[in-house]
Amino acid sequence: MAVTSLDDDKAKDIVTIDLAGKSSLADHLVIASGTSQRQVVAMAEHLMEKLKAAGMKGLVAEGKDQGDWVVLDAFDVIVHLFRPEVREFYNLEKMWDGPKANAAEAETIG
């Protein structure tokens, strides 16, 4: 659901990283870029609305006030949304050394 929502909102460079066995924080990490602060915040809000509509409660999103980087904790899935230059600076993909997956492959994780 997360990847589909981000794809619908025209997110760029959607990547999923399997964290199973690497971290107790979550099973999956989803990373995507928006073209502006406004798009990053809108993608986060849309995703939260969809997850709440699906029955998820207790969702937490941080960073919506600034819009440079928003992290959404959806329990088994953590979603990081960045403006491109902020994403490049933090380079979470390299930190987790995770394989890249396209949106079609990532649909299996929700």
Averaged pLDDT of the chain: 87
Residue 79 lies in a domain: yes
What range does the domain containing 50 cover? 2-104
- On whether the CB atoms of residues 48 and 2 are closer than 8 A, the answer is no
Mean pLDDT of 69-78: 93
Number of domains in the chain: 1
Q: What is the DSSP letter of 71?
A: E
CA dist., res. 31 & res. 14, Å (int): 6
Question: Considering the domain boundaries, does residue 66 fall inside one?
Answer: yes
Could you report the per-residue pLDDT of 43-63, keeping only the tens digit for each? Answer: 999 999 999 999 999 898 999
Other beta carbons within 10 angstroms of residue 51's beta carbon come to 21
Q: Is residue 49 part of a domain?
A: yes
CATH code, 61: 3.30.460.10
Residue 45's nearest CA partner among 30, 32, 61 is 61
77 within a domain of the structure (yes/no): yes
Q: Is 80 domain-assigned?
A: yes
What is the β-pairing status of strands 69-74 and 77-82?
A: antiparallel
In a domain, 110, yes or no: no
Radius of gyration of the chain from its Cα atoms, rounded to whole angstroms: 13
Percent of the chain predicted with pLDDT > 90: 67
Contacts of 84 (CB under 8 A, 6+ apart): 12, 33, 35
In a domain, 19, yes or no: yes
pLDDT at 97: 65
Give per-residue pLDDT as tens, 22-46.
777 888 999 999 999 999 999 999 9
* Structural domain includes residue 109: no
Which pLDDT belongs to residue 48?
A: 95
pTM summary value? 0.83
